[in-house]
Protein backbone atom coordinates (compact mmCIF):
# COMPACT_ATOMS: atom_id res chain seq x y z
CA UNK A 1 0.00 0.00 0.00
CA UNK A 2 1.13 3.54 -0.76
CA UNK A 3 0.27 5.93 2.08
CA UNK A 4 0.52 9.71 2.27
CA UNK A 5 1.09 10.74 5.89
CA UNK A 6 0.58 14.45 6.53
CA UNK A 7 2.46 15.74 9.53
CA UNK A 8 4.63 12.73 8.92
CA UNK A 9 7.63 14.03 10.86
CA UNK A 10 5.65 14.74 14.01
CA UNK A 11 5.13 12.53 17.05
CA UNK A 12 2.26 10.38 15.76
CA UNK A 13 2.99 10.74 12.05
CA UNK A 14 6.62 9.65 12.24
CA UNK A 15 5.80 6.67 14.44
CA UNK A 16 3.14 5.59 11.96
CA UNK A 17 5.53 6.08 9.04
CA UNK A 18 8.07 3.80 10.73
CA UNK A 19 5.45 1.10 11.29
CA UNK A 20 4.16 1.30 7.73
CA UNK A 21 7.61 0.98 6.19
CA UNK A 22 8.46 -1.97 8.45
CA UNK A 23 5.18 -3.59 7.39
CA UNK A 24 6.19 -3.29 3.76
CA UNK A 25 4.17 -0.25 2.74
CA UNK A 26 5.49 2.82 0.94
CA UNK A 27 5.19 6.22 2.61
CA UNK A 28 5.10 9.76 1.29
CA UNK A 29 5.75 11.97 4.31
CA UNK A 30 4.47 15.54 4.00
CA UNK A 31 5.57 17.97 6.70
CA UNK A 32 6.13 21.72 6.88
CA UNK A 33 8.58 21.58 9.81
CA UNK A 34 6.89 24.63 11.31
CA UNK A 35 8.11 26.33 14.46
CA UNK A 36 5.38 25.19 16.88
CA UNK A 37 8.22 23.29 18.52
CA UNK A 38 11.86 22.76 17.58
CA UNK A 39 11.93 21.54 13.94
CA UNK A 40 15.18 19.69 14.61
CA UNK A 41 13.22 17.30 16.83
CA UNK A 42 10.99 16.43 13.89
CA UNK A 43 13.98 15.83 11.66
CA UNK A 44 15.37 13.53 14.32
CA UNK A 45 12.05 11.67 14.36
CA UNK A 46 12.48 10.60 10.74
CA UNK A 47 16.26 10.24 10.73
CA UNK A 48 16.27 6.44 10.72
CA UNK A 49 13.56 5.96 8.10
CA UNK A 50 14.74 8.73 5.77
CA UNK A 51 17.20 6.53 3.89
CA UNK A 52 14.68 3.78 3.21
CA UNK A 53 13.75 3.25 -0.46
CA UNK A 54 10.04 3.11 0.40
CA UNK A 55 10.09 6.45 2.23
CA UNK A 56 9.86 9.83 0.51
CA UNK A 57 9.98 13.15 2.35
CA UNK A 58 8.17 16.14 0.90
CA UNK A 59 8.70 19.42 2.74
CA UNK A 60 5.63 21.55 2.23
CA UNK A 61 2.43 22.98 3.65
CA UNK A 62 -0.99 21.35 3.46
CA UNK A 63 -2.41 24.79 2.60
CA UNK A 64 -0.41 24.81 -0.65
CA UNK A 65 -2.98 23.85 -3.28
CA UNK A 66 -0.45 23.63 -6.10
CA UNK A 67 1.74 21.31 -4.04
CA UNK A 68 -1.17 18.97 -3.36
CA UNK A 69 -2.04 18.86 -7.06
CA UNK A 70 1.58 18.07 -7.86
CA UNK A 71 1.61 15.24 -5.33
CA UNK A 72 -1.54 13.79 -6.90
CA UNK A 73 0.19 13.76 -10.29
CA UNK A 74 3.52 12.46 -9.04
CA UNK A 75 2.60 9.67 -6.60
CA UNK A 76 0.15 6.81 -6.53
CA UNK A 77 -1.60 7.04 -3.17
CA UNK A 78 -3.90 4.32 -1.84
CA UNK A 79 -4.68 6.03 1.47
CA UNK A 80 -4.06 9.27 3.32
CA UNK A 81 -3.48 9.57 7.05
CA UNK A 82 -4.08 13.23 7.83
CA UNK A 83 -2.31 14.03 11.09
CA UNK A 84 -0.98 17.48 10.15
CA UNK A 85 -2.48 20.31 12.18
CA UNK A 86 -1.66 23.32 14.26
CA UNK A 87 -1.94 21.74 17.70
CA UNK A 88 -2.46 23.09 21.19
CA UNK A 89 -5.52 24.39 23.01
CA UNK A 90 -3.97 27.39 24.77
CA UNK A 91 -1.97 28.67 21.77
CA UNK A 92 -5.16 28.54 19.69
CA UNK A 93 -6.78 31.02 22.06
CA UNK A 94 -3.89 33.43 21.47
CA UNK A 95 -3.86 33.02 17.68
CA UNK A 96 -7.23 31.69 16.48
CA UNK A 97 -6.92 32.87 12.89
CA UNK A 98 -3.76 30.84 12.34
CA UNK A 99 -5.54 27.73 13.61
CA UNK A 100 -8.49 28.34 11.34
CA UNK A 101 -6.18 28.79 8.36
CA UNK A 102 -3.94 25.78 8.94
CA UNK A 103 -6.46 23.29 10.24
CA UNK A 104 -9.58 24.05 8.22
CA UNK A 105 -8.08 25.29 4.95
CA UNK A 106 -5.40 22.62 5.15
CA UNK A 107 -7.95 19.87 5.66
CA UNK A 108 -10.01 21.17 2.74
CA UNK A 109 -6.92 20.82 0.56
CA UNK A 110 -6.35 17.27 1.79
CA UNK A 111 -9.97 16.35 1.10
CA UNK A 112 -9.67 17.74 -2.41
CA UNK A 113 -6.51 15.68 -2.85
CA UNK A 114 -8.29 12.50 -1.74
CA UNK A 115 -11.19 13.31 -4.07
CA UNK A 116 -8.75 13.50 -6.98
CA UNK A 117 -7.18 10.06 -6.49
CA UNK A 118 -8.32 6.44 -6.50
CA UNK A 119 -9.03 4.74 -4.17
CA UNK A 120 -10.41 7.49 -1.96
CA UNK A 121 -9.34 6.36 1.50
CA UNK A 122 -8.51 8.66 4.40
CA UNK A 123 -8.02 8.59 8.15
CA UNK A 124 -8.40 11.96 9.86
CA UNK A 125 -6.87 12.59 13.28
CA UNK A 126 -9.37 14.74 15.09
CA UNK A 127 -9.01 15.36 18.82
CA UNK A 128 -10.61 14.50 22.14
CA UNK A 129 -10.89 18.26 22.66
CA UNK A 130 -14.07 18.24 20.54
CA UNK A 131 -15.93 16.87 23.59
CA UNK A 132 -15.58 20.26 25.27
CA UNK A 133 -17.32 20.47 28.64
CA UNK A 134 -19.05 17.10 28.29
CA UNK A 135 -19.44 15.84 31.88
CA UNK A 136 -20.54 12.32 30.93
CA UNK A 137 -17.75 9.80 31.44
CA UNK A 138 -16.52 7.72 29.87
CA UNK A 139 -16.90 9.60 26.59
CA UNK A 140 -18.51 7.90 23.62
CA UNK A 141 -18.20 8.51 19.90
CA UNK A 142 -21.98 9.05 19.94
CA UNK A 143 -21.84 11.89 22.49
CA UNK A 144 -22.74 15.38 21.24
CA UNK A 145 -19.72 17.52 20.39
CA UNK A 146 -21.49 20.80 19.78
CA UNK A 147 -19.83 22.91 22.47
CA UNK A 148 -16.06 23.21 21.86
CA UNK A 149 -14.31 25.52 24.30
CA UNK A 150 -11.23 26.50 22.29
CA UNK A 151 -10.53 27.56 18.71
CA UNK A 152 -8.41 24.40 18.31
CA UNK A 153 -11.34 22.19 19.28
CA UNK A 154 -13.67 24.16 17.03
CA UNK A 155 -11.38 23.66 14.04
CA UNK A 156 -11.23 19.92 14.69
CA UNK A 157 -15.03 19.73 14.90
CA UNK A 158 -15.27 21.73 11.67
CA UNK A 159 -12.88 19.32 9.98
CA UNK A 160 -14.97 16.34 11.09
CA UNK A 161 -17.98 17.99 9.47
CA UNK A 162 -16.03 18.59 6.27
CA UNK A 163 -15.03 14.92 6.23
CA UNK A 164 -18.69 13.94 6.56
CA UNK A 165 -19.63 16.34 3.78
CA UNK A 166 -17.03 14.93 1.37
CA UNK A 167 -18.08 11.38 2.25
CA UNK A 168 -21.70 12.29 1.46
CA UNK A 169 -20.99 14.23 -1.73
CA UNK A 170 -18.18 12.21 -3.27
CA UNK A 171 -18.17 8.83 -1.55
CA UNK A 172 -14.80 9.27 0.14
CA UNK A 173 -14.06 6.47 2.58
CA UNK A 174 -13.09 8.46 5.69
CA UNK A 175 -12.55 7.44 9.29
CA UNK A 176 -12.24 10.17 11.93
CA UNK A 177 -10.52 9.27 15.18
CA UNK A 178 -10.30 11.30 18.39
CA UNK A 179 -7.05 10.50 20.23
CA UNK A 180 -6.81 11.07 23.99
CA UNK A 181 -3.50 12.05 25.62
CA UNK A 182 -1.23 10.10 23.31
CA UNK A 183 2.19 9.54 24.87
CA UNK A 184 5.41 7.73 24.14
CA UNK A 185 8.73 8.26 22.37
CA UNK A 186 8.82 11.47 20.25
CA UNK A 187 6.00 13.09 22.19
CA UNK A 188 5.91 16.88 21.84
CA UNK A 189 8.08 18.45 24.57
CA UNK A 190 5.36 20.73 25.93
CA UNK A 191 2.94 17.87 26.67
CA UNK A 192 2.28 17.09 30.33
CA UNK A 193 3.57 13.52 30.45
CA UNK A 194 6.78 14.53 28.66
CA UNK A 195 7.28 17.49 31.02
CA UNK A 196 6.51 15.51 34.16
CA UNK A 197 8.86 12.69 33.18
CA UNK A 198 11.64 15.17 32.43
CA UNK A 199 11.14 16.94 35.77
CA UNK A 200 11.10 13.67 37.71
CA UNK A 201 14.27 12.54 35.94
CA UNK A 202 15.97 15.81 36.90
CA UNK A 203 14.68 15.74 40.47
CA UNK A 204 12.68 18.92 39.89
CA UNK A 205 9.36 19.68 41.60
CA UNK A 206 6.22 19.31 39.49
CA UNK A 207 4.03 22.43 39.66
CA UNK A 208 0.48 21.96 40.93
CA UNK A 209 -2.26 24.25 39.67
CA UNK A 210 -5.06 25.09 42.07
CA UNK A 211 -5.70 22.20 44.46
CA UNK A 212 -4.45 19.62 41.98
CA UNK A 213 -7.87 18.15 41.35
* Catalytic residue IDs: 152
Cα-based distances in Å from 103 to 63, 100, 194, 209: 9, 6, 24, 30
Query: What is the pairing mode between strands 26-31 and 121-125?
Result: unpaired
**Among 51, 62, 70, CA closest to 5:** 62
Q: Which residues contact 202 (CB under 8 A, 6 or more apart)?
A: none
Cα-based distances in Å from 63 to 2, 109, 175: 22, 6, 21
Cα 114 to Cα 119: distance, rounded to the nearest angstrom: 8
Q: Which residues contact 6 (CB under 8 A, 6 or more apart)?
A: 13, 30, 31, 62, 80, 81, 82, 83, 84, 110
Amino acid sequence: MNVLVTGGAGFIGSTLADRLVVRGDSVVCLDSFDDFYDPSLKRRNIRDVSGHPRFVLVEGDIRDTDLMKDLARKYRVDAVVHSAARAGVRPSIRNPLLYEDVNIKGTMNILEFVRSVEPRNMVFLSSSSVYGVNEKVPFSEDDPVDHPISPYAATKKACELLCHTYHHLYGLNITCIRPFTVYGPRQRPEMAIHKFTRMIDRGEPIPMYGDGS
